[in-house]
Chain A
Amino acid sequence: MVVIYHSRGALAARLAAAMHLGWLRGQPPGSRAGAEEAWRRVQVENALHFEGLWLLGEDESGRRVFALGRASRADVTYRAFHGMADIYGLDKRSFLLQRAGGPVAWDDHTVWLLRSLRLGAIAHRVETGAVRRVWGSARDAAERARERLAISEHRV
């Protein structure tokens, strides 16, 4: 079973995936230090631009948990993955796409601009601020995915 959290950019998806794997607790970080710690746990140097499909690990049931930073729309992502599954004969019950949400578009562009101007320290503060902003949607995504997995496994 493959679980894929996806979000615009990558931050919310990686946070949700990390929560799914139990790396991060469900409570939002109450301080910048907490957000920085959470950001470090997600294990990417520049989470907001870490686009693409990345395997984070396996959960307690052996499901492989991925994070997808997409630069496209969620519906396009959904159709593309399901279309590929149809073409290659993949069982659609063998993977689950979960949108992690969280509009971070302006953070995305701001961080890119700051890093382009070699203002990495400021970019880092923007990124950790983004962690706190998307925490809730990432947590919700992780909970929803687990509910959907529980339902689908119950049906089987």
Chain B
Amino acid sequence: MRVFYYCYGSAHSSVTAANIHLGILPADRRPSVREIMHQPLFDKAEHHELGHPHYMGADEWGNQLYVIGLAGGKTVMSRALTDFLAAFGIDPTTTLFHDALQSAGVPLRIGGLASRRLGLVSVGRPLAAWGVWLKYQMFADQVQLVRDAVRQR
């Protein structure tokens, strides 16, 4: 099975969710802001990469994890991509799209905007990481839902 964590730019929310899923970030405690900031691919995606899925790894059940930034139309696009695969005979139950942005709060969104869109990395990246830290339990809870879902399939 393939799991796609999506958000706006595949730089913060989706990456955090995927890293929690893979065990790179802890699910049972809240890591420090420094740990969050130094997780793989955090705040690294470039604007021209929007839409391009990035492979993050495989979980303990062999499910392949990806992150993808779908910009403003993420909900519509995630459904459209599932329909697109179904048009080629790919079973929709073998693909799972999860909106990681629903766990994001205002500091994360502002930090992400500052870093990725405005180029203010020194300010935006720590702010985004702090935003993740504030909402970390939500991220962990959402990832657990996804893990439960893929474990049952």
Contact = CB atoms under 8 A, between A and B. Distances in A.
A2 B51 CA distance: 20
A71 interface: yes
Interface in A51-93: 51-53, 55, 64, 66, 68-73, 75-81, 83-84, 87-88, 90
A76 B87 contact: no
Contacts of A71: 72-73, 75-77
Contacts of B52: 79-80, 83
Contacts of B40: none
B70 interface: yes
A72 B73 CA distance: 4
A75 B90 contact: no
B66 interface: yes
Contact of A72 (B53, B77, B87): B77
B11 to A, nearest CB: 14
Given A72-B77, A76-B50, A76-B51, A53 B84 contact: yes
Q: How large is the interface on B (under 10, 10 to 19, 20 to 34, 35 or more residues)?
A: 20 to 34
B79 interface: yes
Q: How large is the interface on A (under 10, 10 to 19, 20 to 34, 35 or more residues)?
A: 20 to 34
A71 B73 CA distance: 4
B80 A73 contact: no
B70 A88 contact: no
A94 interface: yes
Nearest to A90: B88
B71 interface: yes
Contacts of B50: 73, 75-76, 79
Contacts of A79: 49-52
A76 B77 contact: yes
The 6 closest A-B pairs by CB, nearest first: A71-B73, A72-B73, A79-B51, A76-B51, A53-B80, A53-B83
Given A53-B83, A71-B75, A72-B51, 19 more contacts: A2-B87, A4-B84, A55-B87, A71-B76, A72-B71, A72-B73, A75-B51, A76-B73, A77-B77, A78-B51, A79-B52, A83-B51, A84-B81, A84-B84, A87-B2, A87-B53, A94-B88, A95-B84, A95-B88
Interface of A: 2, 4, 51-53, 55, 64, 66, 68-73, 75-81, 83-84, 87-88, 90, 94-95
